[in-house]
Amino acid sequence: MSIRIDVDPANSGQFFACCGLLELADRLWGFAEGWFETGTFHIRTEHAGASLSKLLEAARNFRLSENNGASPDEEGDKEEEDSEDATGSLTIVSPISIRLDWWADKSIKTWAGSMKESKIFLAMCNAIDPQCTDPFNQGGVVFDAQLPPSPRTKTKLGKSGKKREPFYFDARRGASAWSIDVGFSTDALGISTVAHPVVEALCFIGLQRCRPKPTETPRVFDYFAWRTPLPISIVPAAVSGVIGSGDCYRFTNSFRTDQKKHKTYTPATRTQRSPI
């Protein structure tokens, strides 16, 4: 069974979302291989009935362990704003099991301590449309899941979740993230803008195993779009350019605010292959 998805490999968020999609396919179906061709990412699996929509449905239904799954209430958000930039971890328990803690490497982390990664991640997952045929281009304002009634948080049945900004993995946001470019600060004004939830959620998964290769310049990284079908266990070596062949792309995890707390992945440029 072959699955394909349209991708812009120069969008660093989309690239690592492909790695996340392959990780998900492998954990769901036992074995899968992936590779890039011009404008597309391919996944090959022997699992009967495998499809892109089933992968997206699985991503939409990600559930965290109880220790990670706090309700996104307003009181909790106020506590987040006063929190330190502590590094924790998340554990997905369904429909796959995986522990995520890659943001211990702060050079590739995009958010500050005032942003709760579990709430952003779950909101992005909840916004995924499994029937979308071009999922990396599915965009819109993202909200937290509808809140169930809770005596502790005093929420009412049917109350809408709050708007939730993404991680800023998607390089389409990075191209215009600076306030000086936009003309005002969307963060300061509390304005929610269009996000691409499939890119944000799956990139969050993909970065656990597949990391960009650091360069001599701080916060500047390379990655390689490999062309040979490879299982996820070998893909990290291909992403770093250690094995295989493929175009090399360079991007920056750039500061997007004057406070230099929040960052964004910028659009990547093709480069000459760096020495290993």
Distance CA 46, CA 31 (A): 8
Output the pLDDT for position 81: 43
Give the tens place of pLDDT for each residue, 116-151.
999 999 999 999 999 999 999 999 999 997 755 555
Cα distance between residue 100 and residue 109, in whole Å: 13
pLDDT band at 111 (very low <50, low <70, confident <90, very high): very high
Indicate the pLDDT class of residue 245, thresholds 50, 70 and 90.
Answer: confident
Residue 179 pLDDT? 45
Domain ranges of the chain: 2-271
Termini Cα distance of the chain: 34
**195, 142 contact by CB (below 8 A):** yes
pLDDT tens figures, 143-159: 997 755 555 555 454 45
d(CA 210, CA 208): 6
What's 68's DSSP letter?
T
For the entire predicted model, the pTM comes to: 0.85
Task: Kindly compute the dihedral angle of the four CA atoms of residues 93, 57, 204, 31, in this order, to the nearest 10 degrees.
Answer: 70
